Structures are given as structure tokens and as C-alpha cells.
Amino acid sequence: MAIRTMVLEAQPDKAFMEANPEVGTFILVVDRGGSKCDALLCREDGTALATGRSGIEDPEGGRSVGGSGRSRRSLERAVSQTLADFSPAFLHHNISPDPGPPIEPLRGAFQAMWHAVREQDCPMELAGLEWGMVAIAGTGALVYARSPEGREVLLDGLGPELGDHGGGYQIGREAMRAAACSGWSERRRTSLAEPVYRACTGESPEESGWRLVDYSLERRDRAEIAALARIVDREAEKGDSIALRILQSAAADLAQTVRDAAESAGLLATPCTVALSGGVGANSRLYAEHLQAVLAEHAPALQVVQVKHPPVIGAALVILRRISGEDYPARRARLLETAGELFRTTPQPAQGG
């Protein structure tokens, strides 16, 4: 476990905590995805207390080449929302230090311990896997494998130009291409045209496709393009054949990366779980079904399971496991129950790709 403190290196002062039960020790975790930054605050007993979110759908969120959710502004807003009603004395957190001063919400007079939590650790913990595979299809895409012997393989996450095979950006880009040529002939006609044009230009489509040209040539936050994946999924569910083809093509691309990682980790013929996460992977039925269908041809021992809990809950579980003893199973159950309730009852914008 890597450790870094924002104020000083320390363990919680138990005497102070006992004298000030309203303060206590908290766990603050963030999930900085391409489209959004989620934050979650909980107590060390696993009780979830508050959530926050900022990103591409937040008018005051930040923008970044790596995606809105990875911007400093979105991070600050998500953490500020989460800590609004709390004043921690000791904070376990996973917020990686950026160049420059700490973000505003973390400049308080409290002690803190930083925990390194990798993106792939969150779905693994949520799925309860000691070994197995993770496939993340969000704004981008990556695949992780861990063998029973501890061999680890991490593939992709290379960004939209070199990789991210099967991610939301790829799906959104193909949706724009399909919408642009929808008016060329009857065989190219797709129900994607109207909603994609509206999302990108605010106007209805025309046959030439030129209205999308200016939009496509501008420097854009890649989360904007990835957000179009939701439109593709919706239209595919309605029966649009072009939308379905785009979605299935992306799932097939991710399946190839899963196959590569499984082979490198020695898991290709070993029955194991593939924990499917990310905005696209966790939420699209058609995507998950096609991923499983492609894997059934080349790696039938691999079983895809959609991880429905947000990754930020997985990050909290990773830290909770590290600071808990034998009571971790009870704390885990409490966090899943209380955090799940928070995410169900707190209004949240729909996730991007």
C-alpha cells in the first residue's frame, strides 16, 4: 500500500476520536472516469454517508483532453459536494496528488493517508474476485487479468487514437459517421441520425451530412463523443440495425482484447469470471450479450458478469479491506447496502460512455 499524507503522516488519534465521535475517521474515494468524476464518503465501519458527481453533464464541471471526469475542476466539485456537511479529523483517501497545491476541499486542518487504488482493482473488489479478469468499457477501454498464481496482465487504455478498443468514444465516433451518411441512401438510413445531430449540433439532420463536419473538426472533450454511446444503445434496443451493428462491433473489439489478456495470463482455458464494468459495459445489455457470444467462440471458459455497482464503491471497498480486520465481511456488506441506497436515492445524471 502506497502512503502519502496531505498534512502529516500519522495514524488516527484514538483518544481524540473517542472524545469527538461526531468527527471520527472517514474514507473518501473518487473514480475519475473519462465522462464523470464520482466521489463517495463513508465511515470506517462501512456506513456510506454522501456522494458527489461532476463531469461532462455538469455545466460547471471541467474539461480535459483526457475527459471531463479527469479534470481538476470536476474533481474539486465532486469532492466539495461530498464533504459539504462533514469535517473529518482523519481521512483515508485515494486522490492522487496532482502537480501544484491540493484541491480546495482537501486543504483543511486534518490528518490524512493516501491509498493507491488502481482502476482495475475496483471491479475486482466489487465482484469479489481474488483472481480473474476485468473488462472496462467506459469512455475508453482496458482489460486486466490476474491468474491464481498472481501473474498480472494489463492491456489497452491507450487513448482514442491508439487504442480504447470497444469503448464509448469508439461507439460515439461511429454513431456520428452513421448519422452523417444516413441520408445518402435507404440502406444507410438509421434512427441515430436525428438524436445524434441534435446532441452535436442542436439541429435536425440533412442529407449531405455537412452540418456535422464543423463539430467533428473542433477540439472536443472526448467524453462528449463517448456520451453518444447511450443513444446508440437506446436505438439498438429499439431495433435499429445500424445502431446494433455499431454496438456489437465495439463489443467484438473488446472481446479480442479480453482474449489477448487471457492468453497472456494463462487463463484462456481456465474457467473464470470477466467482471464487465464502465458506463457502457455495466449498463448495456446488448453489449454484454455480444461480448459473451464472441468469447464463447474463442474462449468458452470465460464468463462475463456485469458489475452494476459504480466503481467508486469498489474503491471504497479496497481501502476498507486494508484498514479492517476480521470484521471486513460485515463492513463490506454494510457499505454495499448503504452506498447502493445512496446511489439509488441521490439524483445522478446518466453516465457517459
Question: Whole-angstrom Cα distance, residue 34 to residue 138?
Answer: 7
User: CA gyration radius for the chain?
Assistant: 21
Question: Across the strands, what pairs with 276?
Answer: 135, 306
User: Three-state SS for 270?
Assistant: coil
Question: Whole-angstrom Cα distance, residue 119 to residue 32?
Answer: 9
Neighbours of 252 (CB within 10 A): 16
CATH of domain 122-162+253-306: 3.30.420.40
Query: What does the pLDDT read at residue 266?
Result: 96
Asked whether the domain spanning 122-162+253-306 has the same topology as the one spanning 14-117+310-345, the reply is yes
Query: What does the pLDDT read at residue 207?
Result: 65
The residue assigned the cell 456535422 is 212
Q: Are 36 and 343 in contact (CB under 8 A)?
A: no
Instruction: Identify the H or E element spanning 307.
Output: none
Q: Are 227 and 56 in contact (CB under 8 A)?
A: yes
10-residue block means of pLDDT along the chain (353 residues)?
31 51 77 88 93 82 75 88 85 79 69 90 95 96 97 95 96 96 93 93 76 82 90 98 98 98 96 96 97 96 95 95 93 93 59 41
Query: What does the pLDDT read at residue 65?
Result: 67
Query: What does the pLDDT read at residue 100?
Result: 63
Strand extents, DSSP E, the chain: 25-32, 36-43, 48-55, 90-93, 111-114, 132-137, 141-146, 152-156, 272-277, 302-306
Question: If phi over 0 gives left and psi between -120 and 50 gives alpha, with beta otherwise, what is residue 112?
Answer: beta
Q: Are 140 and 279 in contact (CB under 8 A)?
A: no
Query: What does the pLDDT read at residue 20?
Result: 52
Every domain of the chain and the residues it spans: 14-117+310-345, 122-162+253-306, 168-247
Write out the DSSP string of 124-170. HHHTT-SSEEEEEESSSEEEEEE-TT--EEEEE---TTT--TTSHHH
Question: Whole-angstrom Cα distance, residue 311 to residue 27?
Answer: 15
Instruction: Identify the H or E element spanning 324.
Output: none
Query: What does the pLDDT read at residue 345?
Result: 53
CATH of 14-117+310-345, one of 3.10.20, 3.30.420, 2.30.30, 3.40.50: 3.30.420
Q: What does the block give as the cell for 191?
A: 434512427
| Residue burial 31-45, b: 16+ Cβ < 10 Å; e: rest | bbbbbbbbbbbbbbe
Closest by Cα among 109, 208, 229, 209 to 166: 229
Query: What does the pLDDT read at residue 9?
Result: 33
Question: Whole-angstrom Cα distance, residue 228 to residue 224?
Answer: 7
Question: Whole-angstrom Cα distance, residue 94 to residue 316?
Answer: 9
Question: Whole-angstrom Cα distance, residue 204 to residue 173?
Answer: 18
Query: What does the pLDDT read at residue 99?
Result: 61
